[in-house]
Amino acid sequence: MPQSILFVCLGNICRSPLAEGAFRTEAERRGLDVEIDSAGTGNWHVGEPPDPRAVAVAQTNGVDIGAQRARQVHPRDFEKHDWIVALDGAVLDDLQAMRPDGARAEVMLFLDHVEGRSGEDVADPYYGQEDGFAVAWTDVTTGAKALADRIEAG
């Protein structure tokens, strides 16, 4: 049975779609049997595609995230997924607060998997310029490699 990972940010149009795309690419490259999804804690963008700047930075790096659609985290996600990965500390706090008692999902911060980056956030590029999306892409690809290493190590 494949392991299942859900990446979560605020609105599911910037960081978590980038993380989903980066991790999907890394998992395919390594041949990992993993189900991958993304969501947001908020409902502002439900049904919308990723931010065009996120789509552009992913495309520049050979990854197509354009078909993704935003959705909101649901309590059933805590039973469906093995890991729910927050892109920042505030999202992590929100996820821990909404996690149902006895849920199976392990909730964690994405960059905790990267040596020397424990406790750090993937900066939210939404209100900034395009260069913020490049920084976010670097962070999510670094995190994707580290998380894939953890999965491979068992």
Residues annotated as catalytic are 9, 15, 124
Distance CA 95, CA 88 (A): 11
CB-based contacts of 40, cutoff 8 Å, min separation 6: 8, 9, 10, 11, 12, 13, 16, 70, 71, 72, 73
Helix or strand (DSSP H, E) at 26: helix 15-30
CA distance 13 to 125: 11
Q: How far apart are the first and last CA of the chain?
A: 14
**Structure tokens belonging to residue 58:** 């992913």
